[in-house]
Every structure is written in C-alpha cells, then in structure tokens.
Amino acid sequence: MTPEEPLRIALAQLRPGPDLDRNLDKLAALAVQARRQGAQWLLLPEYAAMLHGSRQAMRAAADRAGDVEAAVRGLARDLGMWVLLGSLVTPDGPRRMFNRSLLFDADGRVAARYDKLHLFDATLPDGRTIRESSAYTAGDEAVAVDTPWGRVGLSICYDLRFPGLYRALALAGAQILVVPAAFARATGAAHWHALLRARAIENGAFVLAPATCGDSPGGRASYGHSLALDPWGDTLGELGDEPGCLVVPLDLAAVARVRAELPGLSHERTFSVRLAGPSLLVPSDGMPHDTTA
C-alpha cells in the first residue's frame, strides 16, 4: 500500500454458536472473503469464537484460548493481513477469566493486548440479568498501539458507555477507535448508533465497531449492525442483523482535517466541581430542608 492509497479495513459480523471449532471455521471463511476484497486489516467482534453462555461453557472456551489464538495468528500470517480478535476468553487462575482483545500483525505476531476495563453488570429491559463481574476480572489500563496506518485505541463493548476512556485514547494520539462488541438486541436498538457516533464526533476519530448478531447459546440475542464511522460522525458502512463482511476505505488524513476544524482535543481543560446553592439535608420524612435559613 502506498501512502496515497486508503487503508481498506474489514468488519466481520458473526453469529457464534456453541461449537468452538465451527465458529473458527466461520471466522476463517470471512477472513478469506475480506482478503479477497482487498482488506489489509480484519476486525472481529467480541466473543468471536464463543459467545457468552453459561459459566461452564465459557470456562471450557477459556481452556481452549491457546487453540483460538493459534488459529487467528495463523490466519493473519497466512493471509498477510492484520487481524483484531475482538475478544478472547482467557483464564485468570482456576475460577476467573479475562475478556481480552488481541491484535495480530501481518506476520502473526501479537502487536497489542487489551483486557476489558468495564464489566457489564446490568438488568436488561427484558428482565434478564448479566453479571460479568461474577466470572471476569477487569483490566486496569487503556491500550493504544501504533500500526502502519496510524495509532489505534482498543476497547470492548460496554466500554463504549464510558466516554472518558475514548477521550484518553484520543489525547494519547489514537486516530482509530475500535469497539468490538456483542451488544444486546434491546440496548443496541436504543443506544448503539448514538453512542458510536458520539465517540467519533467527540474525538474526531474513526470508530470501527464489528459486532455479533442473532440468537446464541444461553438465550442471548445480539443486535448486530456492525458500523464504521468517519471522524465527522458520518457512516462509512453498516451491516444489518445477519452475518457478513463489510469492507470500507479509511482516509487517515481526515482525522487531521477534522481535528483542525474542530480542535476540541487541544481545548481540553482540567477543572474541579463546586456544589453551589444552599446546603440541604434530607431527613427521614424525605423532604429537604434548607439549613442556611
């Protein structure tokens, strides 16, 4: 690729099932398809090889983390392309796990690792409760990595709801923000597009979000709609609710142009918060009383 040619990047949308080996076959087929379409970099979603199911199923998947890593490493090397394994369930001792992103270069070497910072503990609109913290260990650092095309900030799924992470990555020089995800269908329909556009606009960065889709083990329904956004927040491409591969060109010069027009990153200020107004106490009757009178 010459400097004048745009980076062609592929977002893979998958519907992982309970059979890890079959999931890897699907993943490999999409990788070959992406390479044939001229992609130099493939992004895979969160839980690309095994979507979140029972604790026992995920622990079994974690015990095969080495097999998954070797398979994706081989794909990157054999196809001569960079590959982001959106997340891999890896062991953290005998009882817990990490939700870890791995970025492989075109020689199959690990260029970066990132452990999901924010764990999804929530009750969904359909009444289902998810408690990632009961089985997973949170990461403790943000990660940005230099690639042949620019600096990339890593994140995973629920991280999307924490804008401070993306601001920190942008201030560290990230031009591309990746958000591999397995967003639930209900929250995805309500918030997915708005949150991704906000992160792109706030930071003047490309936002690339490969996603899982469809119904999977354990009754989990994923939203899909893998999305690529430019630094202005405009859509470069989007998939629907079925598996597929989206290939889009990225003009990295757009980041500098947008940040010059809207230089919010250079205007960032630190500040304290002062609570103004009368001091209020809330007694047992639930009615606030002004203590300054």
121 bridge partner residues: 131
Q: What gap in Å lies between CA 116 and CA 257, rounded to an integer?
A: 31
Question: What's CA 20's distance to the chain center, in Å?
Answer: 21
Question: Which residue in 26, 69, 132, 157 is the catalytic one?
Answer: 157
DSSP E strands, the chain: 7-13, 41-43, 82-92, 96-104, 110-115, 121-123, 129-131, 144-146, 151-154, 176-178, 206-209, 213-216, 220-223, 227-229, 235-238, 244-250, 280-281, 289-290
Q: How far is CA 236 from CA 46, 157, 217, 228, in A?
A: 21, 20, 31, 5
Q: For the chain, count helices (H), then strands (E).
A: 7, 18
Q: One-letter amino acid identity for 21?
A: D
Task: For Cα atoms 111, 116, 119, give the angle at the middle one, nearest 5 degrees.
Answer: 175
Question: Which residue in 26, 69, 116, 213 is the catalytic one?
Answer: 116
Enter the DSSP assignment of 90. E
46 catalytic residue (yes or no): yes
116 catalytic residue (yes or no): yes
Question: Which residue in 26, 46, 69, 245 is the catalytic one?
Answer: 46
157 catalytic residue (yes or no): yes
Q: What gap in Å lies between CA 159 and CA 174, rounded to an integer?
A: 16
**Residue (of 112, 121, 184, 120) closest to 142 by Cα position:** 112
Q: Which residues are catalytic?
A: 46, 116, 157
